[in-house]
Homo-oligomer: A and B are copies of this chain.
Amino acid sequence: MSTVRAAVLTAFEQPLEIREYPEPAALAPGEALVRVEMAGICGTDVHLWLGQLPIPIPVIMGHETVGRIERVGDGLVKDWRGNPLKPGDRVTWASSIACGECFYCRTKNQPTRCLVRKAYGISYNSDEAPHLRGGYAEKILLRAGTAIFRIPDNLPTESVVGAGCALTTAIHGVERAPITWGDVVVVQGTGPVGLAALAVAIEAGAAKTVVIGGPPHRLELAREFGANTVIDVEAASDLLERRKLVLAATGPYGADVVIECVGHPDAVNEGIEFCRDGAKFLVLGQYANAGNISFNPHTVTRKQLQMIGSWGFEPRHVDRALALLERSKWKDHFAGEITHRFPLEKADDALTTTRGWRSGKTVIVP
Contacts and interface: CB of A to CB of B under 8 A. Distances in A.
B102 A82 contact: yes
A103 interface: yes
Contacts of A107: 81, 316, 319
Given A82-B103, A110-B277, A205-B203, A301 B316 contact: no
Q: A interface, how many residues as a size bin?
A: 35 or more
A357 interface: no
A104 interface: yes
A268 B285 contact: no
A103 B311 CA distance: 24
Given A110-B277, A298-B265, A305-B309, A320 B182 contact: yes
Interface in A91-120: 100-104, 106-110, 112-113
A329 interface: no
Nearest to A305: B309
Contact of A286 (B288, B298, B311): B298
A303 B308 CA distance: 10
Contact of A302 (B277, B304, B309): B309
A356 interface: no
A205 B205 CA distance: 6
Interface string A262-296: 00010010000000111000011111111111111
A340 to B, nearest CB: 27
A181 B207 contact: no
Given A103-B82, A107-B319, A181-B200, A286 B301 contact: yes
Contacts of A181: 174, 179, 200, 203-205
Contacts of A307: 300, 305-308
Contacts of A283: 297, 300-301
Interface of A: 78, 80-82, 100-104, 106-110, 112-113, 174, 176, 178-182, 200, 203-205, 207, 253, 265, 268, 276-278, 283-311, 315-316, 319-320, 323-324, 327
22 contacts: A103-B253, A104-B253, A106-B315, A107-B319, A110-B277, A112-B304, A113-B278, A181-B200, A181-B203, A182-B320, A268-B300, A292-B295, A294-B294, A300-B309, A303-B311, A304-B309, A305-B308, A305-B309, A306-B306, A306-B308, A306-B309, A307-B308
Given A265-B298, A300-B308, A305-B307, 16 more contacts: A108-B278, A112-B304, A113-B277, A113-B303, A174-B181, A176-B304, A181-B200, A181-B205, A207-B323, A283-B297, A284-B301, A288-B298, A291-B296, A294-B295, A304-B309, A305-B309
